[in-house]
Copies of this chain bind each other. A is one copy, B any other.
Amino acid sequence: MYILIDGKKIASLIKKEIADEVTRLKNESRRAPHLAAILVGNDPSSETYVANKVKDCEEVGFLSTLLRFGNDITVPALLNEIDNLNKDTEVDGFIVQLPLPGHIPGSKVIESIDPAKDADGFHPVNIGRMVAGIPGFLPATPYGIVELLKRYDIETTGRNCVVIGRSNIVGRPVSILLSQKGMDATVTVVHSRSRNLRDIVRQAEIIIAAIGSPGFVTADMVSEGAVVIDVGTSRVPSSETSSGWRLAGDVDFDKVAPKCSYITPVPGGVGPMTRVALLRNTLMAARMRK
């Protein structure tokens, strides 16, 4: 019998811990942590994501500010807004919601954020510090995965872990975190160019699936007793929902789950944890400023 990793429950628990710390700060007459978000344009998904982030802030007692700009904002104007937030001592951390319109170079925008306020953990300085094992801001999904493993007391030391996917925001950073001192897993990163991918995954005691290909991980690729973390969140057509689609993970859950010791569902696994990461980084930023 497998254990279903309940990301929603753990996310609630961590939000409660963060809310408790905000209460303590207020009792000491200190300002609540303050997260700002820049939203350019009106992409519907981005609107939803940012609205959720504001809601999360309210839930834990953070201050939040949403700055909205039209799709036609110039690069200098956007950089100027970022500079204002960098200088604003009332703001602890902020994000620029991605994706940005085509005329705005994303990497330039990210590098213009003060690394000490980089609540998304995307600035190269923060990635570099993470690689060096220096505690700091962590990107959302890798944080969520590591935290789920920790909260469920899942042993990683010396265990054979295979990460499927090498993206800059999930596969690569989580492979680094799991391999570092403290986590100590033996980590293999497989990707689209890997040969014998199925054989390699089959040897894994811990599988992190982060490719965005619905049902990619089938039962024959999973060994008995494996821990499976499913990062996939693809939209697939569905006749069973009013929206006409449903979220699908990278793992063929129904067939894979019976072989697992632990497995995350989609939705309700890694997803809720990624939202918590932003709160965690903002709280860390607020602590560093005080």
Residues of A with Cβ closer than 8 Å to B?
107, 111, 123-129, 131-134, 157-160, 166, 168, 172-173, 176, 179-180, 184, 186-191, 193-197, 200
Assembled-state Cα–Cα distance A194/B195 (Å):
23
Q: Which of B129, B132, B191, B195 contacts A179 (CB 8 A)?
A: B191
Most chain B CB neighbours (cut-off 10 Å) among A186, A195, A197: A186
Q: Contact between A124 and B133 (Cβ–Cβ < 8 Å)?
A: no
Q: Give the number of times this chain occurs in the complex, counting copies.
A: 2
A-B contact list, 27 entries, CB within 8 Å? A107-B132, A123-B128, A124-B124, A124-B125, A124-B126, A124-B128, A124-B129, A124-B131, A124-B134, A125-B125, A127-B128, A127-B131, A131-B176, A132-B168, A133-B168, A158-B194, A160-B195, A160-B200, A172-B176, A172-B179, A184-B191, A186-B189, A186-B190, A186-B197, A187-B188, A187-B189, A188-B188
- Chain B residues in 8 Å Cβ range of A186: 188-191, 193-195, 197, 200
Assembled-state Cα–Cα distance A187/B200 (Å):
11
Which A-B residue pairs are the 10 nearest by beta carbons?
A124-B128, A127-B128, A128-B128, A184-B193, A188-B188, A158-B195, A186-B194, A124-B125, A158-B193, A124-B129
